Amino acid sequence: MSVRAALTQATGGLADVSPTPRLDAELLMAHALGCTREAMILERLGDAAPDGFEDLVERRLLHEPIAYITGARDFWTITLQVAPGVLIPRADSETLIEAAVAHFRGTAGPRSVLDLGVGSGALLLAALAEWPQATGVGVDRSPDALRIARGNAERLGMAGRATIREGGWDGWGGPHNLILCNPPYIGLGEPLPSEVAAWEPSSALFAGADGLDDYRALAPLLRPQLARGGVACIEVGATQADAVQALLIAEGFTTASRPDLAGHARCIVAT
């Protein structure tokens, strides 16, 4: 069977489990071929489909996320390796980097970056890629996250600029010019897609009955970690901006929100 025919067949099956079946099929095929999706579309559609493609599709039919199957996820200007045990970076989280870029526009940028809950390293390493003169620290409680973040820093040539260590919302070192944080913010019992609920780590998703527990813990610890003139960019759920801003304002911060591509307030900017 040709790549073209296998893609058509896989797209039909994946339509039952994914809102983007054709894209999923193309990403899995490119991974099986060992090339980029663009190269596959332009050059490989007439080739024979590789033997491993059907196995990849079967994994996706069990709702395993594409990023876990391929082991990689693009974020901002970098590509990260990901695996079960670490949250998959989302495009929504790029809103935090956009907010940071806007804050430091016209300046030399931050010298020191702190990522609270570093996960795969997405936010920290994207910031270090944006500002090559900066150094940073990423903290997390998860051994899997620490291992994966360190590996990503090494692969991206940033191991000398990124310190990855165990820690919580009280951070480490500082004060820092830029603080980035994507905490757990899903309420217990809130419905989630199968590929999230069954595969991604619950410790990176859930934060109490209303999803605000980690913000309550974070807010009083943030000010001592932030340098004068610095900014904290914090991700929030689509309906949480007002509640999180109130927590930060109570701690003396000035806040604003920044929308994601869907128009939801996704990032709280605190100074």
- Binding site for substrate, by residue number, is 182-185
Q: Which residues are annotated as a binding site?
A: 117-121, 140, 169, 182-185
Whole-number Å distance between alpha carbons of 240 and 236: 6
Q: Which residues are annotated as a binding site for S-adenosyl-L-methionine?
A: 117-121, 140, 169, 182
Whole-number Å distance between alpha carbons of 60 and 64: 5
Q: Where are the alpha helices (DSSP H) in the chain?
A: 3-14, 21-33, 37-39, 53-61, 66-70, 94-104, 122-130, 143-155, 194-197, 213-222, 241-249
Whole-number Å distance between alpha carbons of 65 and 31: 14
Question: Would you state the structure tokens that stand for residue 94, as one six-digit string?
Answer: 């790029």
Whole-number Å distance between alpha carbons of 126 and 199: 24
The DSSP call for residue 49 is: P
